[in-house]
Amino acid sequence: MPDIQMKKYFIIVIIILLLANCSMLRSKDEIGVEEKTVILTFDDGPNIRHDITERLITVLDKHNVQGVFCFIGKIAEENPDIIRKVYESGHVIVNHSYNHDHPLSLRSEERWEDLIKCDRVFGDILGIEDYKSEYYRPPFGIINNSFKNELLKNNIKLVPASYYVNDVFFGPNRMEELLEDLIIKTEEENCGIIILHEFINLKNMPDDKEYYDNESRHNRSYVPELVDMLIVELIARGYRFGMLRELEL
């Protein structure tokens, strides 16, 4: 029995190490974010429910902050107008895959085809022939070395993150708690690339009522308000909001 438990423990440790090695999370020194600098990134959009993406644009523009929108191709395909608005507003559009499949479920060539398909969607929406993303963020934040090398060969930059505060588990009723967590973590790092989710993309989507339940994590209606308060608070604490192009990714 002890031998079986040790084997299970060993397997768990190996899995954790593998995932850590494949994670897009990076230290501030690896990313090269300057002290007192924050970059805001938003995953899994666009989201027209509650006008979330459009309201995010309004908040960011009000504070003259550039947002980094990591869009899923198949959702973008259904909402072309908001993609064009993000682009025309001067925010960054990042390829976040077409299907948002878990990376460990795909071969490298399938992941690459998925990336290209997402680029085609962006190009068709924006009217840009042979559109090619400058940036990519992997679904679930997982990427292996072979795919990193493929991105490098094609001059596509990986968008990392400094830390993750599990915002996908917070509904509107816990917004103030999440705000506090974000501020604490940013102060600990003294800078950072922050991830927030404007949508939660899952294979088995919940009933519509989940998107309007104040306690549901699928109700992302509070995210623009959260971002507004976060920007105000961090500026008051002496932070500035930077851009991806400042980093050597």
Local confidence band at 27 (pLDDT 50, 70, 90 cut-offs): confident
Q: Is the pLDDT of residue 147 over 60?
A: yes
Residue 18 in any domain: the answer is no
Residue 227 lies in a domain: yes
CB pairs under 8 A, 24+ apart, for 184-190?
Answer: 186/38, 186/234, 186/239, 187/237, 189/28, 189/162, 189/163, 190/28, 190/35, 190/36
For residue 5, what pLDDT is reported?
55
**Domain contains 153:** yes
The answer to whether residue 16 sits within a structural domain is: no
What's the predicted TM-score (pTM) here?
Answer: 0.90
Domain assignment present for residue 9? The answer is: no
pLDDT score of 216 = 95
Beta strands in 27-99 (DSSP E): 37-45, 67-71, 92-95
* DSSP one-letter code for 136: E
Inform me whether the pLDDT recorded for 85 exceeds 80. Answer: yes
Residue 110 confidence class, pLDDT cut points 50, 70, 90: very high
**E-assigned strand segments in 4-124:** 37-45, 67-71, 92-95
Least confident residue range of 7-21, 51-65, 100-114, 141-155 = 7-21
Residue 74 lies in a domain: yes
**Number of structural domains, the chain?**
1
Residues, the chain: 249
In degrees and rounded to multiples of 5, residue 149 shows phi and psi of: -65, -35
The pLDDT of residue 125: 98
205, pLDDT greater than 70: yes
CA gap 155, 234 in Å, rounded: 33
Q: Tell me the CATH number at 174.
A: 3.20.20.370
Report yes or no on 12 lying in a domain. Answer: no
Q: Quick check: 4 pLDDT over 60?
A: no
- The answer to whether the beta carbons of residues 182 and 194 sit under 8 Å apart is yes
Residue 4 maps to a domain: no
Q: What is the span of the domain harbouring residue 158?
A: 29-246
**For the chain, how big is the Rg over CA atoms in Å?**
18
